[in-house]
Amino acid sequence: MPDAPPPPLNMADVQRSVASELDRIAPVLDDLGRRFAEAGHELALVGGPVRDAMLGRQHNDLDFTTSAHPDETERLIKDWADAIWDMGRGFGTIGCRKGPWQVEITTYRSEAYDPDSRKPEVDFGDTLDGDLGRRDFTVNAMAVRVPGREVEDPYGGIVDLAHRVLRTPGRPEDSFSDDPLRMMRAARFAAQLGFTVDPAVVEAMRAMANRIEIISAERVRDELVKLVCAPYPRLGLTLLVDTGLAALVLPELPALALERDEHHRHKDVYQHTLTVLEQAIDLEDRLPDGGPDFVTRFAALMHDVGKPRTRRFLADGTVTFHHHDVVGAKITRKRMKALRFSNDAIDEVSRLVELHLRFHGYGTGEWTDSAVRRYVRDAGDQLDRLHVLTRADCTTRNRRKAERLRRTYGELEARIARLAEQEELDAIRPDLDGNQIMEILGIGPGRGVGEAYRFLLELRMDHGPMSEEDAGAALRDWWASR
C-alpha cells in the first residue's frame, strides 16, 4: 500500500530546507530581484515553489509575483532570459526560460468568477499581501521577497504547513465562489501532500459542490489526473466522495458504495476499488516505465463501475454481477469522453476494464495455448498493465486463496513468456499475407480477402505457427467449403 501520510514538520527542518533551496536557485532569485528593484518594482517568489522549498522538495519551475505590469516585466527580462513567451499576458503573466529554470512572472492581481462564467475576470492589484490573499490555500499564500529573501506569511501558512493542514486565507466560501476549481484542488493537494483538510473547508466544499458545474471539463480532468497520480490518491478521492463533488465529476465512484445485502455476501465495492487502486500502485514497478501510471490507476478505479448496473439478487440470497466488465468498459468510455480525455487514453483504460475478469476463466491452468494467445492478442500493448490490474484485483482476506490466485497468475505470465519467446506473440499475424491469399485463391481485392485473413488468424491462434504450405492447404479447404 502507499506509505502513510508523513508526520508534522519540525520548524527547524523547515528553515533549513528553505535556506538550502533558496541557495540552489540563487542565480535566478538574486539576479531577477536586483533587476526589478533597480527599476522600482517589487518581486517575490510565491506559491508552490515556496511551499515545496519548506517541504524539502526541489523543482525548476519558479513562480514570481510583481508590482510590474506585463509590458514592464517583459522589458526587464528581455536581455536576461534565454527565451520569452507571453501566452498568459491577458492574465498578467510573462513566461521565460533561463538555463534549466522555467520562470513565470505575474503581476499582482485579484480574480473572481462571475456566478455563471467559466473564466475569471482579472484585475491587477498593487500589494503583495493583497495578491497572497486571493490564493487558494494558506500553504500556497506564502512568498519570499527578492533579492532580500524576507519571508511573507500573512495567513499562517507556515504553521499550517508544519501541521499538514489545508486552510483557505479567508472564508472558504468566498474562495470557492471566486474559483470553484479550488474544491478539486483541495482534494488534489490532500492526495499529493498527505495533508488533512480543515473542517470548515470540508463543510464549504459540501455546501458549494454544485458550483463545480461551471468549470470546464478539461480543467476538472486535469485536476483529476494529478489527484490519481499523486502519492496518496485515496485521501483525495475519499474527500471528493464525502463532499458530494465526486457525484458531479465522477459519479461512477460514489455509486460503488452499494448497500450490502443482509447476508453480507458481497464485498463493499467502493472500499474494494480503493484497495485495488492502492495495490496497483504497489505493483507499478512491474511496468516498463514504472509509475505513476495514470492509465493503470484509472483502470483500477473504474474496473468495477459496471457492478451497480448489473447487480442481481438470486432466490438463495446470492448476488451476481454478470457482464459487469463489458458494461463497465462502456461506462468508462462515456465518462472519459465527457471529461475530454484523448482517444488513446479512453481506448487504453476501457480495454483494461473490459479485460480485467478474463483471467478468472483460467481456473487452475486449463487454458489451451490458443486461449493464451487470444489473451495476449486482446490485451495488445496493454498486456503489462493488464498483468498489474489483474494482480491488484485480488483483495480477498483468505490468505490461502490470495496466494493461490497469485501463484496461478504467475503461471499464466510464465506461459505467456514461453509462447512469446517461441512465437513472437506480441506481433501475431496469419501465416499468409493478403497478396499470398489472393494468389492462392485466385481472387482480387475485396471482402473475401478480409474473410480469409480472419480465418487464417483464428487458425494461427488455435494451432500456432504453420508452414506456408500447410496454411495454403487449410485456406483452400476452407474456401472450398464456404
Sheet holding 83-85, edge to edge: 83-85, 93-98, 101-107, 61-66, 43-46, 143-145, 150-152
Q: How far is CA 103 from the centre of its chain?
A: 25
Helices (H), 117-171: 128-133, 157-163
Q: Write down the pLDDT at residue 261.
A: 42
- Cell digits of residue 316: 438463495
Euclidean distance between CA atoms 42 and 127, whole angstroms? 9
| Mean pLDDT in consecutive groups of 10 residues from the start of the chain, 482 residues | 74 86 93 96 95 90 96 95 93 94 92 60 83 94 94 94 94 93 97 96 98 95 98 97 97 83 59 95 94 96 94 83 92 98 97 93 79 86 94 84 86 85 63 85 86 83 81 87 82
pTM score: 0.83
Architecture of domain 254-427: Orthogonal Bundle (1.10)
Q: Is 92 helix (H, G, I), strand (E, B) or coil?
A: coil
Q: Write down the pLDDT at residue 264.
A: 45
Q: Is 86 helix (H, G, I), strand (E, B) or coil?
A: coil
Cis status of the peptide bond prior to 292, with omega within 30 of 0: yes
Q: Is 98 helix (H, G, I), strand (E, B) or coil?
A: strand
Read off the pLDDT of residues 149-162 as tens digits, 9 standing for 90 and up: 999 999 999 999 99
Q: Write down the pLDDT at residue 263.
A: 42
Euclidean distance between CA atoms 151 and 365, whole angstroms? 64
Q: Write down the pLDDT at residue 422.
A: 65
Q: Which 3-state string (H, E, C) describes 219-272?
A: HHHHHHHHHHCCCCHHHHHHHHHHHCCHHHHCCCCHHHCCCCCCCCCCCCHHHH
Least Cα distance to 228 among 271, 290, 291 occurs for: 291
CATH number of 1-163: 3.30.460.10
Buried b (16+ CB within 10 A) or exposed e, 256-272: bebeeeeeeebbebbeb
CATH number of 164-250: 1.10.110.30
Q: How far is CA 42 from the centre of its chain?
A: 37
- Measured at the CA of 337, the angle between CA 336 and CA 341, to 5 degrees, comes to 65
Q: Which residue ranges make up each domain of the chain?
A: 1-163, 164-250, 254-427, 434-481
Least Cα distance to 363 among 396, 409, 400, 303 occurs for: 409
Least Cα distance to 240 among 260, 220, 258 occurs for: 220
Q: Which residue has the cell 508544519?
A: 162
Give burial (CB, 10 Å; 0-12/13-18/19+) of 69: middle
Contact 47, 62 (CB under 8 A): no
Q: Write down the pLDDT at residue 262.
A: 42
* Equal fold, 1-163 vs 164-250: no
